[in-house]
Structure 1
Amino acid sequence: MKIRSLIWKTGCAVVIGVICSISPSLGQASLPSSSSDTPTPPGPPIVFPSSPLGVLCDRLTNTICIPSTPTRSSIGDLDDKITKDVCAYAKCSPPSPVTFAFVQDAIQKSAQVTDSATALVYPNVFPDRIEILIVPSSGKEIRKVVPNVQSSEVTETVQEFLNSLRDSSNDDYLPLSQKLYNWIIRPIDEDLQSEGIKTLIFVMDSPLRSIPISALHDGNKFVVQKYATATIPSMGLVNLQLRDRRRSSILVMGLTQAQQGFTALPNVEVETKVIAARILQGNLFLNQDFTIDNLKKQQSKNNYGIVHLATHAQFLSDNIDGAFIQFWNERLSLNDLRSIRLGEEPIEMLTLSACETAVGKNLGLSGVALVYKSKSVLASLWTVSDAGTTPLMLSFYSYYPTSKSKAIAIQQAQLDLLEGKVRVESGQIKGVGNLPAIPLSQVTGNINLKHPYFWASFVLVGNWL
């Protein structure tokens, strides 16, 4: 069997921003952001005592847990299984399984390049438990078991969590956020702290692929306040080439008018003009100029470092054939993207802020990354209005050129919204870098961007460097 080697080269950056225009609740949420005003979850804290078997006991109900020993599947076997699941959706040929040495090398080099101690985390959901495999920068393998957790309860909790996040007028999501934290992060908290970890890279099992890990809450802080995060389809599929920071020119394209049953996106014009002319330098094409042929022409002609498409998209199908991106007068299926060449260099990043982005069993986001042969995908997990999306996008791009990693760039952008640095007041976006206030279209009031409905809607998938 051919052993994979880690390639560290330079590449270009491609970003596609896909935005929906609907009107979800933009109410003023009273969101806790510090220990002084965060509700404490009911009951005593969960304690995970040490044991010879490394077993975790859930003391929440003061009951004794049934001992469970971690499955001893190798990291190569576990990663290969996930790789095959993704390729079944994306219609790709699975690569050779990765080795533990490959994973160790990748995580260690990631820590060196980003100056951020990194850990790879595999949460694996079984019918009666959750198993967690961790590979930190130190290279040692850590295994944990969370017993007495039914897979059906995990699926139900994830769905309830996502549903509650869609209402920005309250903090009903908090108990569910803390419950998921107790399952996925708290069992490894002590290990992460002892290793000094600052960046977490997740290879999620199917029931967990649609959660915004940054919005999980420990009862005091959100994950984003402690870690930069990203999700990868698998180590076998991730492309870890380094980006060339000198290539920051951007091709920006988008749709502002109603088209083929989709509503208008008035703030796409605001977003794209600011990105192309005031944050980065590039060319802008909207509406009639937003065609598949023009995308290919412009990228072939200039080989931009970054490409940003702001439009509608749909990912509701259980297979890749039903997914598409809306252009001016046509829809580009993700399956057809195999035939599109977007420049000589590998695509660095694809950002999709889509109205209907199903990312559960069908592996939508991971499949998109594969189809585009992109190294990274930044995409939304739920519907967000274009007015709510624009502040996060502008903040992210303001950090992108200088942040030590993409994961850190999105973390910084999310913190800006959560902590109130970037805000919408009287219909204007304020606090993005050194930019003056930016007027939004068709918005006159305030929007409370501190709610995770706004800042946690985007997840980074793929290359986090």
Structure 2
Amino acid sequence: NLSDEQYRQLVANLRQKSEQLEAELSRRSAEFRTLSEPITIEAVQQLIPEDAALIEFILYKPADIKARQWGKDHYAAYILKSSGEPQWVDLGEVEPIHKAAFFRFTLALKDKKDAFIGNTDDIKQTGRQLDELLMQPIREKLGNINHIIISPDAQLNLIPFAALVDENNRYLLETYQITYLTTGRDLIRLQLEYSHKQPPVIVANPDYDKPGEPTTVAVSNTRGINQLSRGVDMSFRALPGTAEEAKVIAPLLSDVTLLTQSQATENAVKQLQSPNILHIATHGFFLKNLPRVEPDNSFGLISENTQQNTPIQENPLLRSGLALAGFNPRESGLDDGVLTALEVANLKLRGTKLVVLSACETGLGEIENGEGVYGLRRAFALAGAESLLMSLWTVSDEGTKELMIKYYQRLLQNQGRSEAWRQTQLEMLNSQDYQHPYFWAAFVPVGDWTPMEY
């Protein structure tokens, strides 16, 4: 047992040692030094272009101090430009915004017929309703801004803002370049520069029914801690359209590694070492919350209060992921063919300039207020990817192929990653066959918007 004085001295010594180790890490690692420094509004402002504004949405619960009670959930937005004071807008109660936001599901699921006949009247009306609640109050404070950097919160993570319609009946796409971040703090992280270590990799059309081919290099078996959540009965059909997608993209890039069918394995993806571009065309999945499971209290050892307050402890990064070779039998060498978001977060992607996820619902994930989408979007950022292009719903094979060809062609012309996507969307909007936002609004650009280095 230590005396009070000895205990205080021990704590002081440990604190000093901690500070010394942090100083050494800062000296050796630019990344640690950058990410460990206190983040100030001024530091973030310096990273916002003059023609841009950062819009951070937040879901909050107002408090009535006098009545000592909480009000109904509200949305608010903080607006930060490259200079000047931050601005704040209360957008009102959550419920009407969420009702209007249902247009996203209408857009993805119910408007396919309208999309294929080119009818945009209904979707413009619903897009206008949401814009009136969400973006119109913000636009009044933007001035001459043409690039909006959006950090959504809660269900707003599911909204394609480009498809909202302003008071002049124009899609926001037609006025703004739009980039998404999981948080405004990502602007600090994006200043870190890494070099890629291998050429582009395309993963497409995995054989879900047969076990994937084992690779020559073994990766440690993480099936026990990273496997798909319990009680999930899910299987996928083949995606032959993604094979065609890969065929048309590969010639546009140089020295591409193409992984398809039984070679499109979880193990192969885990072995990647910072490819310049990683394009994955497969099924993605998003699972809803598990129901709360009561602990076994057969012997009456657990109090009723404890029983009622026992939540399910499961990492939400296990609730979303990508399906690869061997997914249906859950067999692929030492893996199970399921690349969970938790495993994605541990990929070696520092130096990867762009990840494209061309799949079903890959932009979705477990929603946690204040921390953005805790799914594949966040996982790829944690793995180090500079930018992502992610789908919010499944688009027709032909439509996706057209989008991707045009996007990569623009990237190769040294256009910025977000602006290249916007110009591709505008071209589709002005086309005869793909003018409906069902086609062009399904993908959202996340992260670094500047031109890529090849």
Under a length normalisation based on structure 1, what TM-score does the superposition of the two structures give?
0.64
Query: Aligned equivalents of 2:282 and 2:202: distance in 1?
Result: 11
Query: Cα distance, 1:177 vs. partner?
Result: 0.7
Are residue 452 (structure 1) and residue 437 (structure 2) matched? yes
CA contact (8 A) 1:162 1:211 kept: no
- Report the alpha carbon displacement of residue 380 of structure 1 after superposing the two structures with TM: 1.1
Give the secondary structure class of the aligned counterpart of 1:106: coil
How big is the shift at 1:355?
Answer: 1.9
The answer on whether the counterparts of 1:315 and 1:356 sit within 8 Å (CA) in structure 2 is yes
Give the structure 2 partner of residue 205 of structure 1: 153
Structure-2 residue corresponding to 1:333: 340
1:459 is paired with a residue of what secondary structure?
Answer: strand
Q: Tell me, yes or no, if the aligned pair for 1:98 and 1:235 is still in contact at 8 Å.
A: no
* From 300, 303, 310, the counterpart of 2:281: 310
Report which structure shows greater RCO (CA 8 Å, sep ≥6). Answer: 1
2:57 partner letter:
P
Q: Structure 2 CA distance, aligned partners of 1:128 and 1:246?
A: 44
In structure 1, the residue matched to 2:78 is 133
Q: Describe the superposition over 1:407-465 as per-residue Cα deviations: whole angstroms up to 9, x where unpaired.
A: 11111111111111xx7xxxxxxxxxxxxxxxxxxxxxxxx311101100011222333
User: 1:256–1:267: 8 Å Cα contact kept in structure 2?
Assistant: no
1:302-322 CA distance string (max 9 Å, x none): x53112121112122441112
CA RMSD of superposed structures (Å) = 3.2
Aligned to 1:77: none
Instruction: Please list every run of 5 or more consecutive structure 2 residues that lacks an aligned counterpart in the other structure.
Output: 1-18, 61-71, 211-234, 290-315, 327-336
Secondary structure in 2 matching 1:341 = coil
- Quote how far apart the aligned CAs of 1:227 are: 0.7
Q: Displacement of 1:256 after TM fit?
A: 5.5
**Mapped pair 1:186 → 2:136:** yes
Alignment of 1:423-442 (within 5 A): none
Query: Which of these residues, 425, 439, 447, is aligned with residue 414 of structure 1?
Result: 425
Q: 2:95 aligns with which of 145, 149, 152?
A: 152
Equivalences for residues 284-303 of structure 1 within 5 A: 284-297=258-271, 299-300=272-273
User: Match for residue 367 of structure 2?
Assistant: 361
Note if 1:464 corresponds to 2:416: no
Hey, what's the Cα distance between the residues in 1 that align with 2:397 and 2:342?
Answer: 26
More helix, by proportion: 2
**Deviation readout 1:315-352 (Å, 9 max, x if unpaired):** 2244111222122121122212344334xx43333222
Partner residue in 2 for 1:443: none
Aligned partner of 2:127 in structure 1 is 177
2:53 match: 119
Q: Equivalent residue for 1:383?
A: 394
Aligned to 1:274: 248
* Structure 2 residue 103 is the aligned partner of structure 1 residue 103: no
Matched AA of 1:406: R
Instruction: Tell me which amino acid in the other structure corresponds to 2:106.
Output: N
CA change 1:288–1:207 in 2 (3 A) is closer
In the alignment, what sits opposite 2:214? none
1:283 has 2:257 as partner: yes
Distance 1:129 1:289, change over 3 A: closer
The residue type equivalent to 1:215 in the other structure is A
Q: Which amino acid aligns with 1:327?
A: L
Aligned residues: 335
Which of 262, 267, 270 pairs up with 2:236? 262
Question: Given that residues 326 and 332 in structure 1 are in contact (C-alpha distance below 8 angstroms), is that contact kept between their aligned partners in structure 2?
Answer: yes
Q: Determine helix, strand or coil for the equivalent of 1:255.
A: strand
Mapped to 1, the partners of 2:193 and 2:415 lie a distance apart of: 11
Select the structure of larger CA radius of gyration.
2
Deviation at 1:274, TM superposition (A): 1.6
Check conservation: 2:54, 2:184, Cα contact below 8 A: no
SS in structure 2 at match of 1:347 = coil
TM-aligned CA distance change 1:464 to 1:237, over 3 Å: same
**CA gap 1:322/1:189 in 2 versus in 1, 3 angstroms:** closer
Whether the 8 Å contact between 2:317 and 2:366 is mirrored in structure 1 is: no
**Structure 2 residue aligned with 1:230:** 179
1:427 maps to which residue?
none
